[in-house]
Amino acid sequence: MKNWDELYAECMSCRKCDLAETRTNVVFGDGARNAEIMFIGEGPGEQEDLTGLPFVGRAGKLLDDMLAMIDLDRSRVFVGNMVKCRPPQNRDPLNVEQEACIGYLRNQVALIKPKIIVCLGRIAAMKLIREDFKITREHGKWFEKAGVQMIALYHPSALLRDPRKRPESFEDLKILQAKIREICDHTY
Ligand code: SF4
């Protein structure tokens, strides 16, 4: 396992998959290194690629609003992605790209030691919770892996595309808030 600085340096110059050819910036992830909660999406979009920061476009603004609804602030959590470079035209990251990149996320999780990992969307849930995860049926449900509580929410981009999913997501956020109150030490 690498320390934070070693991991960051390696990731920023990584060329382990073809996404290195088309990216502008590597998006390492952002937030507290001692976060009790990590939010993981599938990959950077256009604005993230341009700025090098996760969840900064319209979906990022919605994520901030979702966090605010349950009294969370970005500075207290960690926000990142399965793959650290933008897939062209925002396509789903290929399995080979996810496999090439997952080691960085594993190392981040090992360093941060979160109590809760929130998968944002189907792709992250299929990689981190279960291969055949069905986001429409299993969002808002808890799973435990290696002592970490895991839950999937609809990706903010999906909520922008289909606002009818928002009431369900609000319920999921309340479920997340209850778990935070139950098991997290920090006051949120
Ligand atoms: S997506 Fe991940 S594995 Fe691929 S080049 Fe970027 S940092 Fe490396």
Percentages (nearest 5) of helix, strand, coil residues in the chain: 50, 15, 35
Q: Ligand 1 within 6 A of 120 CB?
A: no
d(CA 114, CA 117): 7
Range 116-139 average pLDDT: 98
Nearest protein CA to atom 6 of ligand 1, as residue:
85
Nearest protein CA to atom 2 of ligand 1, as residue:
101
Strands (E), the chain: 30-31, 37-41, 78-81, 116-120, 143-145, 148-153
3-class DSSP assignment, residue 60: helix
Would you call 99 exposed, middle or buried from its count of C-beta atoms within 10 A (0-12, 13-18, 19+)?
Answer: middle
Q: Ligand 1 within 6 A of 100 CB?
A: yes
Range 40-68 average pLDDT: 97
Could you tell which of 10, 81, 85 is best to mutate to test the pocket of ligand 1, judged by most ligand atoms within 8 Å of the CB? 85
Q: Ligand 1 within 6 A of 14 CB?
A: yes
| For residue 126, pLDDT beyond 70 | yes
Range 50-55 average pLDDT: 98
| For residue 178, pLDDT beyond 90 | yes
Q: How far apart are the first and last CA of the chain?
A: 30
pLDDT at 188: 61
| For residue 15, pLDDT beyond 90 | yes
Would you call 146 exposed, middle or buried from its count of C-beta atoms within 10 A (0-12, 13-18, 19+)?
Answer: exposed
pLDDT at 148: 98
- In tens, the pLDDT along 58-109 reads 999 999 999 999 999 999 999 999 999 999 999 999 999 999 999 999 999 9
Token readout for 31 is 């937030």
Token readout for 147 is 């002592």
- Ligand 1 centroid to 100 CA: how many Å? 7
Is the entire prediction scored with pTM above 0.95?
A: yes
Q: Ligand 1 within 6 A of 62 CB?
A: no
Cα of 82 vs its chain's centroid, Å:
7
Confidence label for 187 from pLDDT (cuts 50, 70 and 90): low
Token readout for 47 is 């604005």
